[in-house]
Amino acid sequence: MQDPVLNFSKTGPIHLPKDGRPVDVQVANLVKTFGKNEAVKGVSFTIGKGEIFGLLGPNGAGKSTTINMMCGYLEPTSGDAIIDGISVTKEPMQVKRIIGVVPQEIALYKDLNSMENLEFFGEIYGLPAKERKERSEELLQFVGLYEHRNEPIKTFSGGMQRRINMVIALIHRPNFLLMDEPTVGVDPQSRENIFNTIEQLRDQGTTILYTTHYMEEAERLCSHIAIMDEGRIIALGTLEELLAMRDQTREVQRPHGLQELFIQLTGRTLRD
Amino acid sequence: MKNLWYIAKKDLLQILKDRSSLFFLLLVPLILIVVVGFAFGNLFGSGSSQVTITVAVSNQDSGFLGKSVVQALQVNASSLKITINQYTDPNKVKDQVANNSSVNAGVVIPAGASDKFIAAAQTGTAPKDLVQVYSLPSTSDPRATIVQNIVTGVLSSQFAGTSAVGQVNNVCNQPGNHCAQSSIDAQTIAATVGGASATGGATAVQALTAGKAVSINSFDQIVPGYAIFFALFGVQAAAGTILQEKEDGTFRRLLIAPVNKYALLGGKLLAQFILTLGQLTFFFLVGYFAFHLDIGSVPAVIALLIGASFAATGLGIVLVSIVKTRRQLNAIVPLVVIISSAIGGAWWPLFLEPAWMQQIAKIGITAWAMEGLNGVMILGKDFGQVAPDILGLLAYGIICFVIATRLFRFQQATPA
């Protein structure tokens, strides 16, 4: 068995990890170009079944574009993503049925209540009426908002809205969940609730791609982590493998180790 | 197709839950329709084609002329009703015309007018300035003209009769002619000739009618006009939901879901179409039951409302394709709607506008809709006669959809 190839060069090749995990998601040489701007420059990685995979990177690194290609929102310029054996470029509708996406922004209908939001997305994903209602109630209880089910979303706090934003992506019991910075701007209690939910999903066998700017979140949740910058993956491995590669001359220990490595790899220059 | 309906249903639910939108889409227009309808009731005529005139009269003359003029002004017919306010002081007449807005004209017949009239007629010269007719300076009020024409008619016929008496006397006085004095009844001759002069022309002309009388209930114009006006404003709310969804991220969320992107857009357009048609139907039903709208051909009006809703939906998607934010949409919609309403006949009947303006107005939805609705509801046209307007609205919508398919962007630029 060959270890994952970790390459710190921003132009060097990244090889798919071969660590014996049952692979659920394969991303192979994804490229996305907007005019003359190459936003993603050949990204490749795999995610094992039931694994939480962290995708980290500064602003403008290409994380969101990568996620947008993986979920079928953007068509890749080249490359492909295979999710549960289905190609996103060849069968995007099939892929959309088995994935869930928690967007970075709170994408909810704020005049509607949480049940109406959940039931609407249940309709969109083709759930029968009875199952739709039961699943909506189950999810609201899952995130502790069942008592607020008839209140308009616009009356919810930021943390409550984030929790609804997350469970809407679970309405159709997806195999693969893409979570794009799901804890931005939430209080510690809501964040803990979201973490618990994610861990329960992982324990139930859901594969998760998780992007965040908070290194401690990645350290807590992710078994494998990729660090992106300027459209490429510049580091990839387990948390221990990545920590082992940081500058050992400096005495920085967890939980600050990943943060130190991140700055070491991506530099201290401010990003837009 | 199911997803298309789910999206439309969700959009309609959102709008129904937004009370401020409902207030603007339904209640504000209704209040305006009622206020404007009653305010302009007199301008359009409140459903009656009878012309009513009030005249201030001072008859100082004790002879036949004064009586004839006053008698002629006493009209109470289906098309004309004249109310006479009599005053002994001639200055009161001038004062009433000048200061009482309900008085349309004034007539003063001075003392001795009949004698002066007979004297002038016997010499064959036309009498001058015998009767004074007063109206406001530079007035274009046709009611003052009607009064003047009646008075002129009376004087003309009387002049003809009096001249005839003089002519009879001249003939009798010719050498060789002899008329027994008692055989010449001057009053009978004058009355007979004058009466013949006054009525002979009128009976020689047969007055006929064709088609339907153009009688405008102010609500026949105000309800469809303001309904179309506010339905176009409704585009701002309905089309705005597309931009709002783009800004909120829900549009992207739906594109990530297993929904065909054209079903997504179709669902939103269906919601806009239903909303616009519902809004128009609501105003017409209120107008019919509360203000007794003369609907005319019901199938034609229904077809026009469907056509107008379809065209408005097309206009909405074109605007959403051009602008990027709701702020831009909120700036451009009032501009488009107010201009097209002003020249398109939303606020006054389109057929009152000059022909060139009616043609220019056809670049907007309002003119097509109002030409058809005015035609059916005011001019009594049938379905076939307004079919060009219905087809015009449908073509307008189709052209908008073709343009929108070229310009509409599903994906937004995303952060890397």
- Select the residue from A33, A97, A111 to test the B interface by mutation, using most B Cβ atoms within 10 A: A111
**What pLDDT score was predicted for residue B204?**
42
Model pLDDT for residues B73-120, shown as the tens digit of each residue:
888 876 678 889 999 998 898 888 888 878 888 999 988 888 888 777
Cβ–Cβ under 8 Å, residues B353 and B345: yes
Instruction: For residue B2, list chain A residues with Cβ-Cβ distance below 8 A.
Output: 123
Q: How far is A251 from chain B (nearest CA, A)?
A: 33
Closest by Cβ to B258, choosing from A60, A93, A110: A93
Q: Which amino acid is at B202?
A: A
Residue A93 to residue B256, Cβ atoms within 8 A: no
Q: For residue B210, what are its two tokens?
A: 């064709």
Residue B249 to residue A97, Cβ atoms within 8 A: no
pTM tops 0.80 = no
Residue A111 to residue B3, Cβ atoms within 8 A: no
Cβ–Cβ under 8 Å, residues B235 and B276: yes
Residue A200: CB atoms within 10 Å = 11
Q: Which residues contact A10 (CB under 8 A, 6 or more apart)?
A: A229, A230, A232, A234
Lowest mean pLDDT among B126-135, B208-217, B369-378: B208-217
Cα–chain center distance at B305: 20
ipTM given for this complex: 0.84
* pLDDT confidence tier of residue B18, bands split at 50, 70 and 90: confident
**What pLDDT score was predicted for residue B347?**
86
Closest by Cβ to B414, choosing from A64, A72, A120: A64
Cβ–Cβ under 8 Å, residues A101 and B256: yes
Say how many residues make up chain A. Answer: 272
| Coil, helix or strand at residue B114 | helix
**What pLDDT score was predicted for residue B270?**
93
In the predicted model, is pLDDT for residue B228 greater than 90?
yes
Domain boundaries, chain A: 23-266
Closest by Cβ to B258, choosing from A68, A96, A110: A96
Give B39-44 contacts, CB < 8 A, sequence gap 24+: B40/B218, B40/B222, B41/B218, B43/B218, B44/B216, B44/B217, B44/B218, B44/B220, B44/B221
Q: How far is B248 from chain A (nearest CA, A)?
A: 6
Average pLDDT, whole number, for chain B? 82
Closest by Cβ to A124, choosing from B3, B14, B414: B3
User: Which part of chain B has CATH 3.40.190.10?
Assistant: 51-204
For residue B56, list its beta bridge partners: B85, B106
Q: Which residues contact A66 (CB under 8 A, 6 or more apart)?
A: A27, A30, A32, A40, A43, A55, A228
For residue B53, list its beta bridge partners: B82
Cβ–Cβ under 8 Å, residues B268 and B255: no
Q: How far is A206 from chain B (nearest CA, A)?
A: 18
Q: Is A117 in the B-facing interface, judged by CB distances under 8 Å? A: no
Max mean pLDDT among A138-152, B131-145, B316-330 falls in A138-152
Q: B173 to each of A183, B124, B165, B176, B186, how far by Cα in Å?
A: 123, 17, 12, 8, 15
Cβ–Cβ under 8 Å, residues A115 and A140: yes
Model pLDDT for residues A152-189, shown as the tens digit of each residue:
999 999 889 999 999 999 999 999 999 998 888 788 88
**What pLDDT score was predicted for residue B210?**
43
**What pLDDT score was predicted for residue B17?**
87
Residue A103 to residue B18, Cβ atoms within 8 A: no
Residue A111 to residue B416, Cβ atoms within 8 A: no
Q: Which amino acid is at A55?
A: L
**Beta strands of A137-258 (E only): which ranges?**
176-180, 207-211, 224-229, 232-238
| Coil, helix or strand at residue B365 | helix
Lowest mean pLDDT among B123-132, B285-294, B403-412: B123-132
Q: How far is A103 from chain B (nearest CA, A)?
A: 8
* pLDDT confidence tier of residue B182, bands split at 50, 70 and 90: low
Instruction: For residue A119, list chain B residues with Cβ-Cβ distance below 8 A.
Output: none
Residue B13 to residue A112, Cβ atoms within 8 A: yes
* pLDDT confidence tier of residue B208, bands split at 50, 70 and 90: very low
At which residue do the structure tokens 């609705």 appear? B373
Chain A / chain B CB contacts < 8 angstroms? 79
**Can the peptide bond before residue B388 be classed as cis, meaning omega within 30 degrees of 0?**
no
- Select the residue from A104, A124, A170 to test the B interface by mutation, using most B Cβ atoms within 10 A: A124
In the predicted model, is pLDDT for residue B152 greater than 70?
yes
Closest by Cβ to A60, choosing from B7, B256, B415: B415
In the predicted model, is pLDDT for residue B189 greater than 80?
no
Q: Which residue of B has its CA nearest to A31?
A: B416
**What pLDDT score was predicted for residue A271?**
64
User: Rounded to 5 degrees, what angle do the CA atoms A152, A156, A161 make?
Assistant: 100
Q: A215 to each of A162, A210, A263, B111, how far by Cα in Å?
A: 19, 12, 11, 111
**What pLDDT score was predicted for residue B219?**
85
Rounded Cα distance, B410 and B295, in Å: 42
Q: For residue A96, what are its two tokens?
A: 């959309």
Residue B258 to residue A108, Cβ atoms within 8 A: no
CB contact burial B4-28 (16+ within 10 A = b; e otherwise): bebbbbbbbbbbeeeeebeebbbee
For residue A210, list its beta bridge partners: A54, A179
Q: A6 to each of A10, A235, A267, B43, B119, how far by Cα in Å?
A: 11, 6, 18, 85, 128
Closest by Cβ to B14, choosing from A72, A106, A112: A112
- Select the residue from A109, A172, A178, A211 to test the B interface by mutation, using most B Cβ atoms within 10 A: A109
Residue A111 to residue B17, Cβ atoms within 8 A: yes
Q: Which residue of B has its CA nearest to A232?
A: B416
Q: Is A213 in the B-facing interface, judged by CB distances under 8 Å? A: no
Q: For residue B62, what are its two tokens?
A: 């004790």
Q: How far is B267 from chain A (nearest CA, A)?
A: 12
**What pLDDT score was predicted for residue B200?**
44
Rounded Cα distance, B292 and B301, in Å: 15
Pick the CATH number of B51-204 from 3.40.190.10, 3.90.1150.10, 3.30.70.1450, 1.10.1740.10: 3.40.190.10
Closest by Cβ to B14, choosing from A97, A107, A109: A109
Percent of chain B with pLDDT over 70: 85
Q: For residue B257, what are its two tokens?
A: 């879901």
Residue B137: CB atoms within 10 Å = 5
Q: How far is B306 from chain A (nearest CA, A)?
A: 28
Rounded Cα distance, A91 and A93, in Å: 6
Cβ–Cβ under 8 Å, residues B347 and B377: no
The residue ranking higher by pLDDT, A111 or B25, is A111
Rounded Cα distance, B345 and B366, in Å: 7
Residue A73 to residue B17, Cβ atoms within 8 A: no
Instruction: For residue A101, list chain B residues with Cβ-Cβ distance below 8 A.
Output: 253, 256
* pLDDT confidence tier of residue B45, bands split at 50, 70 and 90: low
**What pLDDT score was predicted for residue B23?**
83
Q: Is A112 in the B-facing interface, judged by CB distances under 8 Å? A: yes
Cβ–Cβ under 8 Å, residues B151 and B198: no
Q: Is A63 in the B-facing interface, judged by CB distances under 8 Å? A: yes
CA end-to-end distance (rounded Å), chain A: 40
Write out the DSSP string of A162-194: HHHHHHHTTTT--SEEEEESTTTT--HHHHHHH
| Coil, helix or strand at residue B17 | helix
Percent of chain B with pLDDT over 90: 25
DSSP state letter for A15:
P
Q: How far is A76 from chain B (nearest CA, A)?
A: 13
Pick the CATH number of A23-266 from 3.40.50.300, 3.40.50.2300, 1.10.760.10, 2.40.100.10: 3.40.50.300
Q: Which residue of B has its CA nearest to A39?
A: B416
Q: Is A88 in the B-facing interface, judged by CB distances under 8 Å? A: no
Instruction: For residue B7, list chain A residues with Cβ-Cβ distance below 8 A.
Output: 124
Residue A97 to residue B258, Cβ atoms within 8 A: yes
Q: How far is B416 from chain A (nearest CA, A)?
A: 4
Q: Which residues contact B189 (CB under 8 A, 6 or more apart)?
A: B161, B164, B165, B168
Residue among A262, A250, A187 at smallest CA distance from A222? A262
Model pLDDT for residues B236-267, shown as the tens digit of each residue:
877 788 888 988 999 999 999 999 888 998 99
Q: Is A73 in the B-facing interface, judged by CB distances under 8 Å? A: yes
**What pLDDT score was predicted for residue B197?**
57
Rounded Cα distance, A156 and B155, in Å: 86
The residue ranking higher by pLDDT, A199 or B415, is A199
Mean pLDDT for each 10-residue chunk of chain A (272 residues)? 38 45 82 91 91 90 92 93 92 93 93 95 94 94 92 92 93 93 84 89 92 86 91 89 68 59 70 63
Q: Is A108 in the B-facing interface, judged by CB distances under 8 Å? A: yes
Residue A73 to residue B255, Cβ atoms within 8 A: yes
Q: Which residue of A has its CA nearest to B21?
A: A111
Q: B332 to each of A31, B318, B328, B336, how far by Cα in Å?
A: 39, 12, 6, 6
CB contact burial A224-249 (16+ within 10 A = b; e otherwise): bbbbbbbbbbbbbbebeebbeebeee
